[in-house]
Structure formats: structure tokens, C-alpha cells
Amino acid sequence: MDRVDSSLVALRRILRATELFGRELAESAGLTAAQFRVLQVVAEKGQTTAKEISQQMRVSQATVTALVDKLVGHGLVQRIKSLTDRRQINIVITETGRRTIESAPDALQQRYVREFTALSDWEQSMIVAVLERVSAMLDAEDLDVAPVLDAGDLRQPGEAG
């Protein structure tokens, strides 16, 4: 196998891993990877706003609002008016949301983060450089994406699942 084929096989393995994880998460928790990441962010912060989530995940506030709508619909988070600023809406996790996180499969990005942070500084730099180069080769460097390993669905940008 030449280098072109080897590189395409490696890319396909990455895509396949994200696809399989997405299916496993959907079957066990009934959520997309992006919804699950929002749930994790809310759990980590205790309470937060859509603006704070959008800044942390680097996606639009409209995308976060749609994701939170889905989580509210599943009873995993609640929107509660702030006691200090009645204009602000805080998002808090429910007990059902906590149980969902506990019972969900180990998130692919969490495995990646564990392995990545264990690498030496130079190895991390090399991986980031290579991934950014691959992204540029695919004309994907300007896409609005969250730091979530998910094949995702192929809706128009700004639509959340």
C-alpha cells in the first residue's frame, strides 16, 4: 500500500470511529455527540448560560440554543431565570441528566484527550500541525465546528441536532 492509500485508510478509520461512537451514544443515551458535550459542559459548570457554552464550544449561540432545546425536551437540563439578573437564563442539569452522563459510553473525545495529554509537548505540536494541514488540504479550516469528535449529520450550518 502506498502512502496515499495509507493516509486515506487512516482518515477512514478516524471517520469510522466517530461514526460508531455516535451510534453507540445514540443507542445508550438517545443523544448526539454535540448534545452530549453540551450536557457535559452544563454538568461541569453546575449552571451556565447558552452564551458561555457557545464560547467554550466555539459554536454559535443559536446552535447551542437548539441543542439545549433538545436536552430540555429529554428532561436532562432545565432553564431557570437568574436570581440576580432576571434577563439572564441559566441552564442547569437535572438528576436525569447526571444519570445519563454516568451511564453513557466513554466519550471518544475524552479518550482522545487522555491519550493526547499524555504525549510529550513536541508530539502534541506535531499532531496539531498535521491535523491542521489535513484540514487545510480538505478546505475545511473555515468550517464552524465544536471540539466534539462526531461524524455528525449533514444538515446546513447552524442547524443543531
Tens of pLDDT, residue by residue over 97-115, are 999 988 887 777 778 888 9
Nearest C-alpha neighbor of 70 from the set 128, 104, 26, 15: 26
Pick 92 or 17 by higher pLDDT: 92
Residues 64 and 51: their CA atoms lie apart, in Å, by 8
Domain topology for 3-137: Arc Repressor Mutant, subunit A (1.10.10)
Are 41 and 147 a contacting pair, CB within 8 Å? Answer: no
Domain ranges of the chain: 3-137
The strand order across the sheet containing 47-48 reads 47-48, 89-93, 77-81
- If you average pLDDT over residues 85-107, what whole number do you get? 89
Task: Specify the higher pLDDT residue, 51 or 85.
Answer: 51
- Residue 125, pLDDT above cutoff 80: yes
pTM (predicted TM-score):
0.70
